[in-house]
Amino acid sequence: MQNTNKNSQLLWGLGFGIVFGFLLQKGGVTRHDVIVRQLLLTEHTVLIVMLSAMLTGMIGLHIFKAFGLVKLAPKSGSISQNVIGGLTFGIGFALLGYCPGTLAGAIGNGYLDALLGGLPGILIGAGLFAALYPKLQSKILKAGYFGDLTLPRLFNVKDWVVVVPAAVLILLLLILLQ
């Protein structure tokens, strides 16, 4: 029983991935140029895709959460983790022109710089991190630790007090980016 369930979840993962990859490719974000133009702020496809996903997802997930249908799992973090890690990621984002998900999409799209440059690179980068992890873990990664805090818990308000204004803000931003 346990095993069948695990196998069916692996199949669900594959199926969700196929849809995700299909959408990413149709959105144009498996292309280096689309991502770099976003970072050069000359085209906003990446932000539009992300913000539309965020808006749709945020509203749905919080409704499901209110009905007890889903359990959210916000990641824990720290200032050093998310700021330094975020900036490091950003450097790679600009140099490579793909992020991990769109890298997989770019490989499917036939882009060889993704397959033979980005993919080995990301494996090396992740391996380096794993090698350094014992040294980083107890000190620098914990600096400014705030755990799995969410915006509603930070302000100590009900989810909707954040979700509704955030939805309005994202919607305004999406109209602005048009």
Binding residue for other proteins, selected from 66, 116, 143, 164, defined by CB under 8 A: 116
165 binds other proteins (CB under 8 A): no
Amino acid (1-letter code) at residue 101:
G
Among 73, 72, 125, 58, smallest CA distance to 95 is for 125
Should residue 69 be labelled a site residue for other proteins when binding is judged by CB under 8 A? yes
Number of residues that bind other proteins (CB under 8 A): 123
Q: Which of 66, 94, 169, 172 is in the footprint of other proteins by CB under 8 A?
A: 94
CA distance 70 to 170: 23
Helix or strand run (H / E) with residue 122: helix 119-137
Tokens representing 121 are: 């690179």
| Cα–Cα nearest to 177, from 169, 78, 95 | 169
Contacts with other proteins, 21-50, as mask; x by CB under 8 A: xxxxxxxxxxxxx--xx-xxx---x--xxx
Cα dihedral sign, 49-52-53-54: positive
Shortest CB 152 distance to other proteins, Å: 6
Q: Does 68 interact with other proteins (rule: CB under 8 A)? A: no
Binding residue for other proteins, selected from 1, 11, 156, 176, defined by CB under 8 A = 11
CB of 129 vs other proteins, minimal distance in Å: 4
In contact, 96 and 118? CB cutoff 8 Å: yes
Tell whether residue 164 is a contact of other proteins (CB under 8 A): no
Among 66, 88, 143, 168, binds other proteins (CB under 8 A): 88
Taking the least distance from each CB to other proteins, the nearer of 66 and 70 is 70
Going by their DSSP bridges, the two strands 77-78 and 145-147 should be labelled as antiparallel
* Residue 136 binds other proteins, judged by CB under 8 A: yes
Distance, in Å, from the CA atom of 65 to the CA atom of 137, rounded to the nearest integer, reads: 32
Among 3, 122, 139, 156, contact with other proteins (rule: CB under 8 A): 122
